[in-house]
Amino acid sequence: MDTSSRSSISSRRLVLLLALYFFFVLNLPLTTRLAGILEGLDGVSAGFVLSIPVFFVAALNLLFTLVAVKYLEKGIFITLLLLSSAVSYAMFEYGVVFDRDMMANIMQTHRGEASSYLNVASVLWFGLTGLLPALLVARVRIEHGGVLKDLRWKGVSVLGSLAAIGLVAAGYYQDYASVGRNHNYLKQLIIPTYYLSSAGGYIDQTYLTETLPWRPLGEDASVARPHRNGKPNLLVLMVGETARGMNFELNGYPRDTNAFTREQGVVSFQSVSSCGTATAVSVPCMFSRQSHDDYDAGQAGRQDNLLDVLSHAGLDITWLDNDGGCKGVCERVATRTFRPEDGGPLCDGDYCQDGVLLEPLHQALERPGSQDRVLVLHMVGSHGPTYYQRYPAEFAHFTPDCRRSDIQNCSARELVNTYDNTLYYSDYIISRVLTALKQHSNEWNTGLLYLSDHGESLGESGLYLHGMPYALAPEQQTRVPLLLWLSGEFEREIGLNRRCLQQQAREGRFSHDNLFDSVLGLMGVSTRVYRAELDMLAPCRLG
């Protein structure tokens, strides 16, 4: 190929242009948030405002100068442009923050979930801000001098960047310190430094950190048998996806999102918080013995969880998954995963609607057995942004709905309607499970516990979806629904006082931390790892 006709640019000039481009274009989520903060402050000096682009461009110029290594720089810059464009879109349009937990969530995302984020807006954004500049970098010929000349300009560039940063700090340190202290989250919006450090932390924790020895829990677990009425206990534990408690009719929401269960004796716990704001964190955490405050993914992944302790006690455990995987929770129990690519009337190749869980549930209920049993149904529930694909057309109860994935371009009414339709359909699925349990009450003492993994933002404060760092996450992402239903015989079997239970649900404050011990207590499992103080039902069990 004749390269003589190709445009050329010096390495130092390319670095400066990229620094300018990253700040003024790809860091739009940061600059818009900064603009809003500065508008709300009194007495902001014009010099401080003008110093902000100088500071960030100098810092980015310093970073890019250090990675501008001959023969490698083109590949590095192209990769950064493509990744940063995708990150910038997610941050600007949905308010996503790419911390370590989000990196774990991304790494565990299946193809259908990833494709749901593709739409005209995201493709245009990526094409114009990522692909186009990446192609320009790929096409241009980067000029270098000799080794000494390159080292000389690198030294000048580094010193010049440091000098600019130093001058800004000397003149406006107090302003930067004040804004930084009061809005500490701003560092999480800087592209590309924050998502790169998060990715590095995830890789280190997941692949480079020494594997901890396995820690067994509850190996002494047992259940007193036979039960007083001679029937085994059966609990269906439904793990919801992205359902927020404030949109449940049973929690006071003024729409009939619980139209199918409100008359079925379900008890709704009013104040329940999640362990995390993303499935990859919340699901392992809620099944672990650790709490939100001390949760460590590495430790939790190397010790027995709730399902293991139930298995130690001799219970029959089955996990039915319709949400892309159990995040390691079900590795040691019988599992069936529904694969959208296998097809079927309720699957579109990317997702299956939760109706696929009903037939295998019926099959499990009809399978005879004398062991106590726990069936876990992991739902796709209200997973966004393509909410409209989570429910059949006949469950479009609230209209007009938002039938697109770029949900930020729907009206607030359309978006809430679509989201509420997912809850309406989930409530229908819960009611079908309840009906099945009632039909099998002659063979089992039956119960159902529904608990979502995290909530969802629907445009409040400019945020969409979920995954915000927990310390910054709004209530919409952390308040989750928890429903409990027990047959009369199950209640009598465990000596449960229903009036006390209803008061607990109405007045108590609970979280994912309570699941581990509450299920052990509910199923009558005796073990040293059980903690009565975390069992939501313990105060309401007689004797």
Peptide bond into 385 cis (omega under 30): yes
Q: Can you give the pTM of this predicted structure? A: 0.84
Write down the CATH superfamily of domain 233-385+417-540: Alkaline Phosphatase, subunit A (3.40.720.10)
Note whether 374 and 523 are within 8 A (CB): yes
Q: How many CB atoms lie within 10 A of CB 226?
A: 9
Buried b (16+ CB within 10 A) or exposed e, 525-540: bebebbeeebbbbbeb
Q: How many CB atoms lie within 10 A of CB 110?
A: 15
Q: C-alpha 37: how far from its chain's center?
A: 27
Phi, psi of 231 (to 5 degrees): -110, 140
Buried b (16+ CB within 10 A) or exposed e, 276-290: bbbbbbbbbbbbbbb
pLDDT at 94: 87
DSSP tally for the chain: helices H, then strands E: 19, 15
What are the pLDDT tens digits along the chain (543 aa)?
444 556 899 999 999 999 999 999 999 999 999 999 898 877 788 999 999 999 999 999 999 999 998 889 999 999 999 999 999 999 998 888 888 888 888 887 777 777 777 888 899 999 999 999 999 999 999 988 788 888 898 899 999 999 999 999 999 988 887 788 778 789 899 999 999 998 998 888 788 877 789 999 999 999 977 777 889 999 999 999 999 999 999 999 999 999 999 999 999 999 999 999 999 999 999 999 999 999 999 899 999 999 999 999 999 999 999 998 999 999 999 999 998 887 788 998 888 999 999 999 999 999 887 899 999 999 999 999 999 999 999 999 999 999 998 898 899 999 999 999 999 999 999 999 999 999 999 999 999 999 999 999 999 988 899 988 898 899 999 999 999 999 999 999 999 999 999 999 999 999 999 999 999 999 999 999 999 999 999 999 975
Residue that the structure tokens 């890019």 belong to: 64
Domain borders along the chain are 8-207, 233-385+417-540
